[in-house]
Chain A
Amino acid sequence: MATAIETQTVDLAARFPGKVSAESRPGYSGFVVEKESLLEVAKAVRDEFGYDLLAALTGVDYIEQNKMEVVYHLHKTTGGPKLIFRTQADRVDPIEIPSVTPIWAGAEYQEREAYDLLGIRFTGHPDLRRILMWEGFEGHPLRKDWKEAFYEEEIKPYKSRWPEGKHTYAEFKNPFRDNLKFPPNFDPEKYEPEGEKDLYSSLERFSIKSEGGLKTDHVVVNLGPHHPSTHGVLRVAVTLEGETVMGLKPVMGYLHRNHEKIGERNTFLQIMPYTDRLDYFNSMSNNFGYAVTIERLMNIPVAERAEYIRVIMAELSRIQNHLVFIGMLINDLGSMFTPAFYAFEERELILDIFEAVAGSRMMCNYFRFGGVARDVPEEQMQKIKDLVFDRLPFKIDEMERLLNQNEVLVGRLKGIHVLNAEDAVHYSVTGPVLRAAGVPYDLRRADPYSIYDRFDFDVALRHNGDMYDNYLIRFDEMRQSLRILEQALKQIPGGPINSQKPNYQVKVPAGEAYGRVEAPKGELGYYVVSTGKQNPYRYHVRPPSFVNLTALEKMCVGKKIQDFVALLAMLDIVMGELDR
């Protein structure tokens, strides 16, 4: 089976002779931009060709060719095919590549991540620090020659498990020091950790100055990592003047679970359950994105019935995500419990379905390449229909009656934290937050995957970009999801649920693919490079929460601290996905 080569509609090589060269590898053809002219090309790509949204930016370590590569995935917010280009540098420290933050601000955190995990220095980046690991951490973990402290074997399955698999704890078997580099004459008692001077100096540097008025002291406050309203273990360092936020820097990595490093060791199939744990509210959407990517790489069809089941599950997942979002938002605004209780009641009913169909409430692990793991029994299909036709529409209405006109809620949300369309696109914000700002960019419409082109639905859209619109658009989206569900439930055909035979040794040809789906939180992308072996060479996740957070600083500085908590809830971040 041949891999479907990603088509490129724009011929960059012809436009920039000498600066861009076309190249093709097994399963891929694209352009390599000379790093000296990267900024010039990037500017033209944005302004001339109209690729205004930088979807994903990541690095790949080609250790054998002694190259470090950065891959850029670009989209138009008006829809249409993507543009991929890449740039290379020799793999000799310091590896330097110009930063594209002046052209797409959404690159900021993604470049920091590439710096942290791969050690690529982006020259011209305003604030290049480690982002997921702490300051002072040794090495760049995603490099191919970097090994963990408890490193066992290069790839899974491990040889030590069978046929002579005596149970051992990896941490005892492998003395951690072998893989760690300590400074000479290291003495833990005298060792001074680097602390967080980079963070605080950066916070200082980016804080705005107060104009006129009383001169007051600035106070630095750390919210988190243990804070009831940061939705997990996010930490935000804030400079305050009175109640006004003068500077703000999120600190993440408190839930950095090394998804990508583990993913590169896993076989293609083994990654599937790990994707459940990205955005743990929506394991179905995560599975969807990963399955779509690998199917593109393998170039296999998906069984017709399975396509419908996938859509049904993904949309149910979206509804429960948005319900919980509303409950948690109100919770963060100070009204504890009632809306969250109501939201979780409906969520429980949806999770019952997931449990009966996929086997687990949260970690569904339901999708397989070419279809789904098992069929939906008739009884459960009826239950889905009951919910979709008879319960959820009324419960969504009820939720609206409960909250929409509540004066306190409206007062807290209306006109606060406005994000305009231009900034939203500039910062690569996707999902409901982008649509609330007035950009009708929904991947289900802009670049239809699976069978979304068969359904009649509207892209939910609001225009003000403030928090109230962000809140309302979730209701719109739930209603549209219900519309899709109604059609899907009526049209679903019978037949097999997988186009492939069940097989644990999945053969994926060499090539690379970037698959993306409209997850409830935004564009969820998977970038996979395969060399034809049983495990991917590079596996990167483009999590919507992480990229959406890039706009946080822009939205908060100069505003009040109490609204910041609401804004965090509004961006609908989830740490499993943000930190991976």
Chain B
Amino acid sequence: MENESLNLPNYNIPEDMRDVVAVTTLDRLYNWGRRSSLWPLTFGLACCAIEMIAAQMARYDMARFGMEVMRPTPRQADMILISGTVTKKMLPAIIRLYNQMPEPKYVVAMGACASGGGPFKEGYNVVAGIDKFLPVDVYIPGCPPTPQALIAGLIKLQEKIDKQSLKKARWYQKGKEDPNYVPMPILGPDLIDVRRSEEFKKAAAVKEGA
């Protein structure tokens, strides 16, 4: 099996066995399997989603990376591509989708909007970056990133997966509370992040006093 990412580097396999056997560690095999079949969630938000579709099409063909199976349900997806502007109104839906995804799960912030608010950051209905709520693995700048830039970003994600280890993977740690569970924000007078409710209360109290 001629696969650089699977074979252990510097391990001499006899010449006649080279294409038949792979010598590797469990971690490498595990990561190789995961990184070669990353199924994204069918999830488009804005302009970047069109480039994501273009990347799925014949010219860029994400199937070459095992990423062509777009899953419509979060239960079967490995990664969520936040492809576009995250609005406050949409945010609860995104977080619900994320919480429904099984581990291991990855978040890719595609484009400027998802990474840090983008050109619409100053808007009243725009969240300044999805990383305020979800743990983002890879940030892909660009407005929108071209399909090639998207693929380059996804290769970065694969590299990240390669470095993970079974022993340390958070989803096999027993007894721990899921660190990635994100509480649902509330759509009140404005978006309310419940993790910061103390601050809200304090601010309301100050206003009452004044």
Contact = CB atoms under 8 A, between A and B. Distances in A.
Contact of A188 (B46, B124, B125, B194): B194
B51 interface: yes
B85 A257 contact: yes
A348 B59 contact: yes
B186 A257 contact: no
Interface size class of A (residues with CB under 8 A): 35 or more
A183 B207 CA distance: 10
A256 B200 contact: no
B66 interface: no
Contact of B50 (A228, A274, A362): A362
Contacts of B46: 232-233, 255, 257, 277, 280, 575-576
Contacts of B8: none
A184 interface: yes
B123 A193 contact: no
B51 A362 contact: yes
Interface stretch (B9-17, B24-32, B37-45): B37-45
Interface in B143-180: 143-144, 146
B89 A133 contact: yes
Contacts of B93: 225-226, 233, 254
Interface stretch (B102-110, B114-122, B133-141): B114-122
Interface in A116-136: 132-134, 136
A479 to B, nearest CB: 24
Given A148-B123, A148-B124, A254-B87, A344 B54 contact: yes
B33 interface: no
Contact of A180 (B42, B57, B189): B189
Contacts of B189: 136-138, 180-183, 186
B47 interface: yes
**Which residue, B45, B87, B194, has most C-beta atoms of chain A within 10 A?**
B87
Interface string B178-210: 000000001111101010010111011001100
Given A171-B128, A191-B188, A258-B120, A344 B42 contact: no
Nearest to A348: B59
A128 to B, nearest CB: 19
Nearest to B127: A171
A538 interface: no
Contact of B122 (A228, A265, A277): A265
A361 B50 CA distance: 11
Contacts of B67: none
B123 A258 contact: yes
A183 B188 CA distance: 10
Contacts of B97: 226
B188 A136 contact: yes
A363 B123 CA distance: 20
A16 interface: no
Contacts of A281: 50
B89 A188 contact: no
Nearest to B57: A344
Contact of B190 (A132, A138, A265, A273): A138
B121 A170 contact: yes
A183 B97 CA distance: 30
Interface residues of B, number: 49
A566 to B, nearest CB: 18
B143 A363 contact: yes
B58 A191 contact: no
A253 interface: yes
B85 A188 contact: no
A341 B197 CA distance: 48
A189 interface: yes
B201 A187 contact: yes
Contacts of B21: none
Nearest to A574: B50
**Which residue, A150, A254, A347, A361, has most C-beta atoms of chain B within 10 A?**
A254
Contacts of A189: 194, 197
B47 A134 contact: no
B123 A274 contact: no
A193 B186 CA distance: 7
Nearest to B123: A258
A347 B53 CA distance: 12
Nearest to B44: A232
Nearest to B191: A149
Interface string A252-271: 01111110011001000000
A176 interface: yes
B90 interface: yes
Given A137-B189, A193-B186, A362-B50, A184 B208 contact: yes
A501 interface: no
Contact of B47 (A185, A188, A277): A277
Interface in A278-309: 280-281
A182 B204 contact: yes
> Would you list the 8 A-B pairs with minimal beta carbon distance, nearest first?
A258-B123, A138-B189, A280-B47, A188-B197, A344-B57, A186-B204, A177-B203, A148-B124
Given A177-B199, A345-B57, 11 more contacts: A177-B207, A185-B208, A193-B188, A254-B89, A254-B93, A258-B124, A258-B125, A261-B124, A265-B122, A277-B47, A348-B57
22 contacts: A134-B89, A150-B121, A175-B203, A177-B200, A177-B203, A182-B204, A182-B207, A187-B201, A189-B194, A191-B188, A191-B192, A232-B44, A254-B93, A255-B45, A262-B122, A274-B119, A280-B46, A341-B58, A344-B58, A347-B54, A348-B54, A575-B46
